[in-house]
Structure 1
Amino acid sequence: MPGERDSFVAVQKNSDGDITAFRTSSGRTLDYAQALQEVQQGAIQGVNAFKGRDGELYIRGDADGDPSNNLDNLPLF
C-alpha cells in the first residue's frame, strides 16, 4: 500500500541486552543511529524518540498497553 510506514519487527542486541539494530517490516536492517533518524522523520510507525536523563535521544515504542510489541520483546535477528 503506497504511503504505508515501516514498523520494527525484530532487533539485534549487544551483550548488555541493549538494542543495537532493527529489522523493519519491509526487510531493511537499520543500525540504531539510522533507526533514530527515521523515527524522528516519522518514517517508522508505532515508535517515538525521547530524550533520556543523560540528554541522549532514544527510541521507544508508543505506549499502547500491549507488552508484546515493546521493542525489548521483539524477536532477535
Structure 2
Amino acid sequence: MIDKTRIIKVRKNPDGDITDVMLTDGNVYAIEDAITLAKDGKIEGVNVGKAKNGREYLRSNADGKKDNNLDNLQLL
C-alpha cells in the first residue's frame, strides 16, 4: 500500500497558475499528474475542483488555516 503524501512546494507560471508541485517525498509532478494522484487518493489535504470552463484544478481542503493553502506554499 502506498502512503499518502502532502504538497509542500509549488511552481507557478507568470500568470500565477500552479504548474508543478513537490510532495513530501521530494518528487515533483506536473499539475496534471498531481490532479490524477489526488483523484486516486494519494495526496492528503487536497481535492480536485472543476472550473466553469471544465478545467480541473487542485485546491486545499478547507481547514481554516491560510498558511497551508496551495497559493501560499513555498515556491520551487
| 3-state secondary structure, aligned to 2:67 | helix
1:46-67 CA-partner distances (Å, limit 9, x unpaired)? 0000111111111100011100
Residue 68 of structure 1: aligned partner: 67
Residue 17 of structure 1: aligned partner: 16
Compute the TM-score of the two structures, normalised by the length of structure 1: 0.93
User: In the alignment, is the contact (CA less than 8 A) between 2:2 and 2:42 conserved in 1?
Assistant: no
The runs of at least 4 aligned residues of structure 1 exceeding 4 Å deviation read: none
User: Is the counterpart of residue 5 in structure 1 residue 4 in structure 2?
Assistant: yes
Residue 44 of structure 2: aligned partner: 45
CA deviation after TM superposition for structure 1 residue 17, in Å: 0.9
1:19-67 CA-partner distances (Å, limit 9, x unpaired)? 0000000100000111000000000000000111111111100011100
Q: How many residues align?
A: 76
Q: Percent identity?
A: 38
The residue type equivalent to 1:58 in the other structure is Y
CA deviation after TM superposition for structure 1 residue 73, in Å: 0.2
CA deviation after TM superposition for structure 1 residue 4, in Å: 3.2
Cα RMSD (Å) of the superposition? 1.1
